[in-house]
Amino acid sequence: MKRFLTIAGTRYLLAYLLTFALLQGFTAYGQAADPVAENMLAYQRSYGGWPKAVDGKKVDYTKTLSDAQRIAIKADSLHEDATIDNKATSREIVYLVKAYESSKDKRFLDAVKKGVDYLFKAQYANGGWPQYYPEHNLYRGEITYNDDAMINVLNILQDIVEGANGFDVLGDTYKSKAAESVSRGVGCILKTQVIVNGKLTVWCAQYNEKTLKPAKARAFELISLSGSESVGITEFLMRLKNPSPEVVKAVKAAVVWFEKSKITGYNFVFVDDPKQPEGKDRVFIKDPASTIWARFYDIDTNEPFFTGRDSKPKKTIAEVEVERRVGYAWYGTWPAKILDKKYPKWLKLNNLLPD
């Protein structure tokens, strides 16, 4: 009788635990019921990275996939469309390491490792990363700071080095490889900081992967000094502990440029305009309380310029067709937090004096 009760009690306990697991979002197979993570596993390419779009449509991980759709997506895993553009691959790695942290589902950790290995493979010997890998058509092979692509990668690798944000689970081997990769990445950043009249300034959004010279990307993204991408680069350099003299020099030079290039007393705002196809426009207006920066500055003159799909630089945003005028971030407040808070804090933390 005692043995029967023990068996019955064990069965009851197992049934209770299984029911509890299901209620907590786990299947009977121990897999985390995280549909976003599951979809990320489906979309991961065979060589480790993730696409940002498939068949012209942005990948939406919140969309419910049928078994047939999931099988079809996995069957396309050899497609060479993985990228670091628009947070692709970086976003998935960051999400999946958190999913593993909460579920302990080894599949998620394996996907993270495969994704990080992809980042290692995609890095050029000179330290930069292309926008796409292995595909390199058109500007996709260029070293890409645009939209913080390369900086998103470096922040993940630095997390691995520091054991931060859940990446301590990757262990010492990944930490060592990440440290070497970050070192080469920083070297690339320092080599690509643009020098004008003998002085360091900031960075272009993309560079030729062989010559490390500033390069053009899309029709409206010409060679220029970037008021946006240079912020992410500077913030990453400021993240580094015990910065080298070269890193300190680079940060200080960038801050000088941010100060020099700010536009005070103006703003870039949306306005209603029924004459336009979408019923709105975006205009450059006077605003005494505003300080902004342009997205693109001419390297030689340091004057802002703007470009439509005709690839011809314009002096004012009003000269650009309305579709591009309202559909691109031509002005922004990107460097404001660096100047107001982050740079003073960085100087104090590293016992440095401003130039």
Q: What is the pLDDT of residues 180-218, one digit of tens each?
A: 999 999 999 999 999 999 999 999 999 999 999 999 999
pLDDT at 14 over 80: no
CA proximity to 145, closest of 202, 200, 196, 91: 202
Given this model, what pLDDT does residue 293 score? 98
* pLDDT confidence band for 254 (50 / 70 / 90): very high
Given this model, what pLDDT does residue 16 score? 42
Q: What is the pLDDT of residues 135-151, one digit of tens each?
A: 999 999 999 999 999 99
* pLDDT confidence band for 355 (50 / 70 / 90): confident
pLDDT at 9 over 70: no
Residue 352 burial class via C-beta count within 10 angstroms: exposed 0-12, middle 13-18, buried 19 and up: middle
pLDDT at 277 over 80: yes
The residues assigned a catalytic role are: 86, 218
Long-range contacts of 193-197 (CB under 8 A, 24+ apart): 193/250, 193/253, 193/254, 194/225, 194/299, 196/299, 196/300, 196/302
Q: What angle do CA 204, 296, 90 make, to 5 degrees?
A: 55
